[in-house]
Structure 1
Amino acid sequence: LYSKKINKSFNKVIKFIEKPNLYRAKKLIKNNNYLWNSGMFLSNKSALLNEFSILQNKLALQVCDSHINAKTTNHILTLDNKYYSKIKSISFDHAILEKSKNVFSTKLLSDWKDVGSWMQKWEIEKKDKDNNYIKGNIFKNNVKNSYISTNRTIVASNLENVLAVDNNDVLYLSDLKNNNLKNLYPIINKKFPKITDQHTTIQRPWGQFTNIFVGKNFQVKELVVNSGAILSLQKHKYRSENWVVVEGKANVILNKKNIVLQKSDSIFIPQGAVHRIENRQKSVLKIIEVQTGSYLGEDDIIRIKDIYGRA
């Protein structure tokens, strides 16, 4: 960012220069009027709201309308989609910082890294005597200068400058100093869309579910329902479900019946049946769900009622 000094501590920002190339960046840094933007901002609420109302008036009104017409259920605020869907996707930098006349800067005297690559992540981590960053249950033999992070047991032998990151969804292997995941991402997304779109554990307003196993015309999930949470009243066109309570107590609606399931109890949900799970307890509810059917996609959910505004 280009700025002019107004006193010993602060500069007034004149303009932002977005992502200059290496040659230009080196040239700019030599000029004392240019500072590298760390991406850390300090402001009070009223100043930000004032800048939004002046510089992005339409966007500010749409946000306000979406919030004014929001619904709150079980301490969860659901913004009104009629107004929220009209809001333009724009970054804070482009919307406010690059247009505002009230931005000031000061020098940050500190170690600072953008941590925009796995190499930079390795550099800042605490390493062992062989210059490795190791996270997880890993047996290693003759491994040097590597970054290995995993949620499962790994045996690594005779490796150097290796990047291995395993997050249950996918295992990424590369040369630590020369990895190009950013460039590979569009190719991966096109060839293996499930890797980028569907994760092993997926968050929901009521809690989360984890995909344990997927087979031909069946899959197994663990549902974790938060205290006081209620899933939508729903049905499925292509699948049936078997539920087993493994922790907690479930209040279930199956068609027009109200059923209470204790730990180790199970229930069958036929294809097309209207059903819902509710956790009225103070602790979490855990259910193992086995789905069977010709199609098991998450879009096969016909919501009838939903406290989170998704019906």
Structure 2
Amino acid sequence: MTTELLPVILCGGSGTRLFPLSRESHPKQFLALTGPQTMLQQTAMRLRGWNEGISLAPTPTLVCHEEHRFLAASQWGEVESGAASIILEPVGRNTAPALTLAALHACRDGGDPVMLVMPADHVIQDITAFQNAVRAGLEYASRGAVITFGILPQYPETGFGYIQYRHEHAEDRVCPVEAFTEKPPLALAQQYVQQQNFLWNSGIFMLRTSTWLRALQLCNPKILGSCQAAMRSARHDLDFIRPDKAAFTACPSDSIDYAVMEKLLEHPEWGIACSVVSLKAGWSDVGSWDALWKVMERDSRGNAVIGGAVLHQDCNDTLFMSNSRLVTGVGLRDLVVVETADAVLVADKRCTQEVKSLVNRLSQAGHRITNQHRKVHRPWGWYDLIDSGERFQVKRIVVNPGASLSLQMHQHRAEHWVVVKGEAEVTHGERNFSLKENESTYIPPGHKHRLRNRGAQPLEIIEVQSGSYLGEDDIVRFDDAYGRIDASESPHG
């Protein structure tokens, strides 16, 4: 008998430990860290090639923050031909509410699929081993058990949760869970590794929709009630599903482990079994720079390089990343050196978990750098803030073929456009005209305007903004192909 499996990909999280590459507006799940595909795309691609009694549901579910909706949709579409149901969280509420939104959507027509719940920001190097592990636990999940996947500890990591399991028979692949421990101190982590009946908690789960909703009703009914209210009033926006913001904002924030898993083990009388499958598939959550270094290809002296503009000499066990310029190193050992266009991080590999606290300090001090890169992606293309100063800023804008910015107006700034590549179709008030390479136009404050690329190649322009206020919230939209007229965020274009 073939069992249908519904992939649920959780695309939340900010990835602050991978600053300065990961930012709030472009977190690690949307970055290409270990290859040409992004972490989300790698997650999607490991769902290919199932056989032997497993068929995937035709429409997987993605849950992401509404600010990342176009990133998620475009990256999914680049690697998968089929559609996905994309549920937009208006605010972040951790993994338990995110999974609940997906479960409520999955059972809306009376269905009860087995959900394979995966974070979008993990590395799994052996896809066959991963699929075999899922196959081993699928029958248990279909009968009502909660299946989690554990990783054999390689060292006493304090940044992971641990799963204690009971191994009754040597041939068992699926073992009962006895306890969950969240991020233990070093001494306890060392003890767990030595005991050999503990696994790292991968954060990947498999269970029926009805099992999750029943468990949540028993363990945390406030989360369930808030999510039910949010989905009852959900609306469809383009290809996205928007739960009600007020109802979801009222939802408690909690993880799957804290909200449900630990409580289930405390109440065996509820009859919901928790089991773990050992996953030996080259897994990493890439939660920090040293974790990324561990999964990277390294030279004979242990150095890993991301980006071509790196030159190092007499260095050992160091990660170098070059994003926009030449990075050089001499005599370095056990360091992380990460360069982006607007920030540089240099850290001891032993301290990379502390990058999160550094980002918190920057955020508390009001630095915008924690939110977005100098290069900012939009549904129509991207822009790069080249320079700025008092009463001016300069942007390089690239518009994808067939795309356009919204019809809009600015109250406080003027814009000067120079086409450097391609041909622009410009709307300026009641006028429509074309600009070719090396031609320019001027948009005064208070004038309606739109930039469109009807060509087959990317359109590139240089925009000089000048005025008394240059913030991205100085925008009034009159028409927008991406449904952002009433959106809460106010992105450029």
Structure holding more helix per residue = 2
Q: Which residue of 1 aligns with 2:292?
A: 121
Q: What percent of counterpart residues are identical?
A: 35
Question: Which one has a bigger Cα radius of gyration?
Answer: 1
Equivalent in the alignment of 1:146:
318
CA contact (8 A) 2:375 2:385 kept: yes
TM superposition shift of 1:253:
1.9
Alpha-carbon offset, residue 137 of structure 1: 1.4
Deviations 1:50-79 (Å, cap 9, x if unpaired)? 624762533443453465x2121xxx5363
The aligned runs of 1:34-113 (5 Å cut-off) are 34-42=198-206, 47-48=208-209, 51-52=212-213, 55=216, 56-62=223-229, 64-65=231-232, 67=234, 69-72=235-238, 76-77=239-240, 79=242, 82=245, 86=249, 88=251, 89-95=253-259, 97-98=261-262, 101=272, 103-109=274-280, 111-113=282-284
Q: Distance in 1 between matches of 2:336 and 2:362?
A: 18
Letter in 2 for 1:71: D
Does the CA-based 8 Å contact 1:138-1:153 persist in structure 2?
Answer: yes
Query: What corresponds to 2:397 in structure 1?
Result: 223
Match of 1:143, SS state, is coil
Give CA-to-partner distance per residue, 1:79-102, whole Å, 9 cap, x none: 366567546344444455455635
Distance 1:105 1:166, change over 3 A: same
Cα distance change of structure 1 residues 2 and 144 upon mapping to structure 2, 3 Å threshold: closer
The answer to whether residue 174 in structure 2 is matched with residue 10 in structure 1 is yes
TM-score, normalising length: structure 1: 0.81
Per-residue displacement from partner, 1:123-176 (whole Å, max 9, x unpaired)? 333333443223331233433442221121134334444421002230112334
Pairwise CA distance, 1:213:
1.5
Larger RCO (CA within 8 A; separation ≥ 6): 2
How many residues were matched structurally?
304
Indicate conservation of the 8 Å contact 1:240/1:269, yes or no: yes
Is the 1:62–1:83 contact (alpha carbons within 8 Å) kept by the matching residues of 2?
A: no
Matches of 2:233 and 2:382 in 1, distance apart? 26
Aligned-residue CA RMSD (Å): 3.2
Q: Pick which of 95-104 and 194-203 moved more.
A: 95-104
Out of 335, 346, 368, the position equivalent to 1:173 is 346
User: C-alpha displacement at 1:244, in angstroms?
Assistant: 2.0
Could you tell me how far apart the structure 2 residues matched to 1:34 and 1:21 are? 15
Match of 1:19 in 2: 183
Deviates more, 1:298-307 or 1:80-89: 80-89
Is the 8 Å Cα contact of residues 417 and 464 (structure 2) preserved in structure 1?
yes
Is residue 65–residue 83 contact of structure 1 (8 Å, CA) maintained in 2? no
Q: Does 1:157 align with 2:330?
A: yes
Preserved CA contact (<8 Å) 1:29 1:36: no
Change beyond 3 A, Cα 1:66–1:263: farther
- Give the residue type in structure 1 aligned to 2:357: N
Cα 1:154–1:30, aligned 2, differ >3 Å: closer, same or farther?
Answer: closer
Distance 1:97 1:245, change over 3 A: farther
The TM-score with structure 2 as length reference comes to: 0.54
Using the TM superposition, name which of 4-13 and 117-126 deviates more: 4-13
**Helix, strand or coil at the partner of 1:258:** strand
How far apart are 1:308 and its partner, in Å? 2.6
Q: Distance in 1 between matches of 2:380 and 2:473?
A: 17
Rounded Cα–Cα distance in structure 1 between residues aligned with 2:458 and 2:385: 18
2 CA distance for matches of 1:81 and 1:283? 39
Q: CA deviation at 1:22?
A: 2.7
Equivalent residues of 1:3, 1:33 under 8 A apart: yes
Q: Is the 8 A contact 1:52 1:60 kept in 2?
A: no
Residue type of the partner of 1:168? A
Query: In 1, are the aligned partners of 2:233 and 2:243 still within 8 Å (CA)?
Result: yes
Contact 2:231 2:243 in 1 (8 A): no
Q: Show structure 2 runs of 5+ residues with no match.
A: 1-162, 217-222, 265-271, 486-493
Q: Secondary structure at the match of 1:35?
A: strand
Partner residue in 2 for 1:133: 304
Aligned-partner Cα distance in 1 for 2:383–2:296: 31
Structure 1 spans left out of the alignment, 5+ residues: none
User: How far off is 1:236 after superposition?
Assistant: 1.2
CA distance change for structure 1 residues 157 and 305 in 2, over 3 Å: closer, same or farther?
Answer: same
Which amino acid counterpart does residue 330 of structure 2 have in structure 1?
S
In 2, Cα distance between equivalents of 1:120 and 1:297:
37
Distance in 2 (alpha carbons) for counterparts of 1:92 and 1:172? 32
